[in-house]
Amino acid sequence: MSGSLYRRLLLVAAFGIICLLSLFTHLILDIDTSTYLLVLMVVYLLSFASTPLFFRWLYPLILQNKSKVNFASSLLIFLVICLYSSGTLISLEGIALGADPYSCYVLLILIAVPAGAASLFLTIPLMLISNCILLTTSIETFGSYFSVFLIGSQLVVLSLFRSLLSEYEGRILLEVSLAELSATQGILRDIIEQETKVEVARNLHDEIGHLVTLVIVNLNRLIKMEKEGVSPLLLETQQLTKQLMTEIRQVVLQLRSDDSVDLREAIHIFSKGLIKPAVSVEFQGFDGFCSARIGEVIFRTCQESVTNVMRHSSAESVNIMIKKSDDHYQVDIRDDGKVLTRWSFGSGLKGLQERAEQLLGSFNAYSDDTGFNISLRLPY
């Protein structure tokens, strides 16, 4: 979680705990507190104090799988229900024992902080039920206008906290997008460098190599014309020119065969900023460097796999195996997400299949009881 957001959460939590301690001190000192009320106060205080820890460790998991119900989202629902229930009961019991009724409503306003992360379909009904219960029991004390103040203050705090979380979510999405962009730029930079080398190699071979070949031919003619008494300087020049041609051929071969795309670095840049899923990559048979045409397809496949997990799956981890054999590359990607519904190839998977077929390779994706699997085979 972003350090800036967490610091603000701690500040809000500290302010809330100070308010709670002041209120609970009033309840303990000014009224004859019952055991039942003390238990409710402890439950509320512990629930509210755990809010920063929840947002620090579990809330990022909700962001990764908004459409899925997991442990983190279930715990958030339980936390909000627990706070609303205990806050309402504390207010009812405290007012019945003679506590200041206005102070008790602080409990309901503070709940809007963790409730800001929950669905409005849960928060709004709980807020209305709690307010109706309390206002109907003390409407004569406060009057009807107080309900407007109470609901308005809850909605203001709820809106402010939801906007704070929306800002954090936007930052997370931005960081992921920047990681994708950075990795893509790295791949493109490597591709451009390799294309430049190929172009240089082509020019060396076609232009410089052609001219050197002509020089060698002319030298050979001169030597043949000098039937006797061939100049040693001319022979040396012939030998040096042949050596130059050999060097040019070696440089051309090296430039054409240079594997300049670093897959290991590109995948690392893309995945290092992700909170979930955890991405592990293993290379077998090579160190991660490969040709531009192969590297781009492999990287796009890994990128699409991880992005699909973030958007559509509840997977906790993605395992990537990239193996180089004698005549092909084999990429196997597995995640541990559960596929509960039927699925079909979308535009992303179809695009990967087309890229593989363009290189005379094969692409396959399937799901089983262990998760979702992608297999890519590319000849070279």
Domain membership flag for residue 183: no
User: How large is the average pLDDT for residues 103-109?
Assistant: 82
295 and 249 in a common domain: no
The residue from 257, 272, 292 where one domain ends is 257
Ranges 48-62, 91-105, 243-257, 280-294: which has the least confidence: 243-257
For residue 140, give the H/E element and its range: helix 120-142
Q: Is 369 left (phi over 0), alpha (psi -120 to 50) or beta?
A: alpha
249 and 297 in a common domain: no
**Per-residue confidence at 295, pLDDT binned at 50, 70, 90?**
confident
Q: Which residues pair with 354 in a beta bridge?
A: none
As a whole number of angstroms, the distance between CA 14 and CA 24 comes to 15
26-33 long-range contacts (CB < 8 A, ≥24 apart) are: 26/99, 26/100, 26/103, 27/90, 27/94, 27/99, 30/98, 30/99, 30/100, 31/94, 31/97, 31/98, 31/99, 32/97, 32/98, 33/97
Q: Calculate the dihedral angle through the C-alpha atoms of 173, 174, 179, 184, rounding to the nearest 10 degrees.
A: 100
How many domains are there within the chain?
A: 3
Q: What's the confidence (pLDDT) of residue 92? A: 87
The residue from 226, 257, 288 where one domain ends is 257
Q: What's the confidence (pLDDT) of residue 211? A: 75
348 and 216 in a common domain: no
The residue from 232, 257, 282 where one domain ends is 257
Domain coverage including residue 363 = 261-379
Q: How many CB atoms lie within 10 A of CB 340?
A: 9
227 and 138 in a common domain: no
Domain membership flag for residue 182: no
**Per-residue confidence at 73, pLDDT binned at 50, 70, 90?**
confident
SS3 94: helix
Q: What's the confidence (pLDDT) of residue 341? A: 59
Domain membership flag for residue 153: no
As a whole number of angstroms, the distance between CA 93 and CA 89 comes to 6
310 and 205 in a common domain: no
**Per-residue confidence at 377, pLDDT binned at 50, 70, 90?**
very high
User: How large is the average pLDDT for residues 182-211?
Assistant: 70
Ranges 119-123, 284-288, 313-317, 347-351: which has the least confidence: 313-317
Residue in the block written with tokens 């014309």? 225
26 and 131 in a common domain: yes
207 and 132 in a common domain: no
Whether 130 shows a pLDDT value over 60: the answer reads: yes
> Which residue, among 57, 156, 37, has the nearest Cα to 108 in the 3D structure?
156
206 and 301 in a common domain: no
Q: Measure CA 179 to chain center.
A: 8
Domain membership flag for residue 186: no
pLDDT digits (tens, 9 = 90+) for 258-294: 556 788 888 887 777 676 778 899 999 888 888 878 8
Domain membership flag for residue 157: no
Q: What's the confidence (pLDDT) of residue 112? A: 81
Q: Provide the residue type at 151 as one letter.
A: I
Q: What's the confidence (pLDDT) of residue 195? A: 67
251 and 120 in a common domain: no
Could you write out the DSSP letters of every residue in 301-330? HHHHHHHHHHHH---SEEEEEEEE-SSEEE
Domain membership flag for residue 176: no
Q: What's the confidence (pLDDT) of residue 331? A: 95
Whether 298 shows a pLDDT value over 60: the answer reads: yes
User: How large is the average pLDDT for residues 163-171?
Assistant: 78
221 and 91 in a common domain: no
- Whether 306 and 267 have beta carbons less than 8 Å apart is answered as no
Whole-model pTM: value is 0.56
Domain membership flag for residue 237: yes
Q: What's the confidence (pLDDT) of residue 201? A: 67
207 and 108 in a common domain: no
127 and 97 in a common domain: yes
Q: What's the confidence (pLDDT) of residue 240? A: 77
Domain membership flag for residue 165: no
Q: How many CB atoms lie within 10 A of CB 284?
A: 10
